[in-house]
Structure 1
C-alpha cells in the first residue's frame, strides 16, 4: 500500500513538472478517401475507402482501450476534401496525425507496407509545405519509422521503408503527420491480407503500437534548430529530458551538466551501471536553483538538420572567455598551475574542499567522483565552478581524459585550425576529436577553443559518439 502511495505521488510530480510525460496521447486518425472517392480498386474487388475505414476504426478502438484520446476525420462512408481534413485536424490540438490508406501499383508483383512523411530536405516547389510541417520533419520521420516497424512486425508484410513525399495531409498540417500505406490492393497476396478481418486487425494493432511509442513534443524551442535530429535521438534514448518542456539548445553548457552527460555515457560514478543508471541522480537538464546562466539572445536561423557538420548553419550565443575546469587557461598559466594540467601530475583535491560546491548540489556525487578519478581538478581559489559555462577546449580535453580506452593520436594533416597551434595545451584533444568527426570547428579554419560549448553542440557530439 505504501509503495502504491509513493507511485501515485511520483506520477503526480511527473504530471506537474513534465506534463507531456504523464498524459495520454491525443491522436487524429484519418481514413483515406470515402464517399464519391473510392480510392484504389483491389484485384479481389475491395474498395480502398472501405479498407481504410475499417482499419481506422480498429486503430481507434485499440488506442482508446489503452487510454488514449482518438478523433476520426470520418466514421462513415463520406467524402471529405484534403483541405477539410487538415483544417479539422488543426482545430483538435492533437499530438499527432495518422492517415491510413491501401496502395496500388501498375506492376501486380509489387507488395508491402510503407509510410510517407514530409521531409524538409527535399522540398517540392510546386507543392510547398506549411511552415510548421517543415519544422516538424524529424518528429514525423520518427513517428513514421516507429509505425512502419510495428506494422510489418504484426502483419508480416514486406518492408518497403519510408517515403519522403509532399502529399497534402502530410505536408500542410501543424503537428507530426504521416500517411500509412498498409498493403497493395493490386497484389494478390496483399489484397488477400486486406480482405481478411483478422489480418486487418493485425495491421491496426501494429499501427496502434507504433503510435504509442511517440513521445509528445517537449522541446518546442529546438524544433527548427540545426541539431534537432541529435536532440531527438538522445531524448528517445533517455539521455536528455529537457526542462520545463524546453531544451535551450543555444544556452551555454555548464560544467556540471557536461560531467553528468559524461557519467551517463561512461558510468564512472562508483555505484553506476547501465542497469541502475536512472536511479542514481537527476537528469542532465534538471538545473539547480543557483544556475543562472542566461539563455542566449541569438537564435539560429537555419531550419536544416545537422548531418555531420558542426560548422554549418549555426549562430552561436555570445561567448565569454573561459578558464579550464581542470586546468588554468593558457594565458593565466604559471609553472605551478601548468603542472596541474599535466595528466601525469594531477593533484587530487577532496570535493568538500571546494567553496562553491555544496553536498545538496544536484551533481555533487558526479563531480566528486570525477575529481577522485582525476578527470577534473579545481582552481587555486578552492572552487570548482560547477554552474559556470564550459569551453569547447575544456570539453575536448575532459572527454578524451574520461574516454581512456582511446589510444589514437591525431595525424599531422589534422592540425589545420588557425586558432589551435600544436603547442596549445588542448591541441591534441581538439584535433583528435576532429579526426574522429566528433567535434568539428565553428568554421573550416577555426575551432573557437575559448568559446562556450552549447547544449546543442554537446547533443551532436554525443550522438555521433554513440550512434
Structure 2
C-alpha cells in the first residue's frame, strides 16, 4: 500500500511538472521567445541572429534636423535600445557600430565606400537571419513626415519583413502615417547583403514635430520596441 501511494504521489508530481513546463512554454512563445524542434525532435530554444546597422557615425552625421538633431546619434540610440529588446527575447543581436564612430579605416580614401564595405563584412561574418539598418529621413518640404521601410526589389523575404515593420509603425505614428513599404535597388546595403535586409527610415528630421519627437528618449524607446516586435513577428512566421 505504501509503495502504491508513493508511486501515485510521484505520478501527480510528474504530471504537475509537465503542466507547468507547458504553461511556461506557452508564455515564452507569447512574449516573443522562439521555441523550435531540433533535428533530433526535442524542443530547444532557438537563438536567431539579427544584425542592427545604425547608419552613419563619426564624421558622417547623416541628416541634420531642423533643430540641429544629428541622424547618426538618433540612429545609434534607437539601435542600442533595439539590441536590448532583442536580447531580452533570446535573439543574438549584433551591431555594426556601438559608438559614435565611422567604420572606414583612418586616413583611407573613399571613406563612404570603405565604411559601407566594412558594414557588409560585419554582416557577412555574423551570418544573420535578417538585417535592419536604422536611418532618419529628410525632405525639402517640412510638412512631409512618417516612417518608411525599404527592401531590395527582388527579395521576397525582405519584402515580407518590410511590410511587417511598416504596419507596426501605426503603433507609434498612428493611422496618419500613409506610407507603404517600398522596393529599392539603389541602396548599397540592399544591393550587397544576401540575407533579408531592410532600411528603416524612422521619421523626417526636416519635419519640426517629428524631429522633436525623435530626439526624446521616450519616442526612441517606443520606436525600438515597435521594430523589435516586427522582427519577432517575422522570425516566428519564418519558423512556423
TM-score (norm 1): 0.41
- What's the secondary structure of 1:189's corresponding residue? helix
| Mapped pair 1:3 → 2:3 | no
Which position in structure 2 is the counterpart of 1:200?
A: 220
- What's the secondary structure of 2:61's corresponding residue? coil
| Mapped pair 1:191 → 2:211 | yes
Which position in structure 2 is the counterpart of 1:403?
A: none
Q: CA deviation at 1:73?
A: 0.2
Conserved? CA contact 1:114–1:161, under 8 Å: yes
Alpha carbons of structure 1 residues 23 and 13: separation in structure 2 relative to 1, 3 Å: closer
Q: Deviations over 1:294-315 (max 9, x none)?
A: xxxxxxxxxxxxxxxxxxxxxx
Q: Deviations over 1:34-82 (max 9, x none)?
A: 0111000000110000010000001011111121110000000111211
Which position in structure 2 is the counterpart of 1:149?
A: 167
Q: CA deviation at 1:5?
A: 5.3
Q: Deviations over 1:321-379 (max 9, x none)?
A: xxxxxxxxxxxxxxxxxxxxxxxxxxxxxxxxxxxxxxxxxxxxxxxxxxxxxxxxxxx
In the TM superposition, 1:396-415 aligns within 5 A as none
Higher RCO structure (Cα 8 Å, ≥6 apart): 2
Aligned equivalent of 1:48, options 71, 74, 79:
71
Alpha carbons of structure 1 residues 16 and 52: separation in structure 2 relative to 1, 3 Å: same
Q: Deviations over 1:216-242 (max 9, x none)?
A: 7xxxxxxxxxxxxxxxxxx77x9xx6x
Indicate the structure with greater helix content. Answer: 2
Q: CA deviation at 1:20?
A: 11
| Mapped pair 1:163 → 2:186 | no
Which position in structure 2 is the counterpart of 1:180?
A: 200
- What's the secondary structure of 2:198's corresponding residue? strand
| Mapped pair 1:35 → 2:58 | yes
Conserved? CA contact 1:154–1:205, under 8 Å: no
Indicate the structure with greater strand content. Answer: 2
In the TM superposition, 1:244-323 aligns within 5 A as none
Which position in structure 1 is the counterpart of 2:136?
A: 102
Alpha carbons of structure 1 residues 25 and 155: separation in structure 2 relative to 1, 3 Å: farther
For 2:40 and 2:163, the matched residues in 1 are separated by 29
Q: Deviations over 1:407-432 (max 9, x none)?
A: xxxxxxxxxxxxxxxxxxxxxxxxxx
Calculate the aligned-residue CA RMSD, in Å.
Answer: 2.8
Q: Deviations over 1:135-164 (max 9, x none)?
A: xx1100111111121133134372411121
Alpha carbons of structure 1 residues 5 and 32: separation in structure 2 relative to 1, 3 Å: closer
Q: CA deviation at 1:2?
A: 2.8
**Structure 2 unmatched runs, 5+:** 1-16, 26-33, 104-114
Alpha carbons of structure 1 residues 162 and 20: separation in structure 2 relative to 1, 3 Å: farther
For 2:19 and 2:151, the matched residues in 1 are separated by 43
Conserved? CA contact 1:113–1:152, under 8 Å: no
Aligned equivalent of 1:140, options 149, 158, 174:
158
Q: Deviations over 1:83-137 (max 9, x none)?
A: 11011101111111000000001111111000010012xxxxxxxxxxxxxxxx1
TM-score (norm 2): 0.77
Runs of 4+ in 1 over 4 A off after TM superposition: 5-9, 17-22
Alpha carbons of structure 1 residues 150 and 16: separation in structure 2 relative to 1, 3 Å: same
- What's the secondary structure of 1:115's corresponding residue? strand
- What's the secondary structure of 2:97's corresponding residue? coil
Conserved? CA contact 2:36–2:43, under 8 Å: no
**Structure 1 unmatched runs, 5+:** 121-136, 217-234, 242-467
Larger Cα-atom Rg: 1
Alpha carbons of structure 1 residues 12 and 100: separation in structure 2 relative to 1, 3 Å: closer
For 2:126 and 2:101, the matched residues in 1 are separated by 20
For 1:116 and 1:47, the matched residues in 2 are separated by 21
Alpha carbons of structure 1 residues 17 and 186: separation in structure 2 relative to 1, 3 Å: farther
For 1:187 and 1:17, the matched residues in 2 are separated by 54
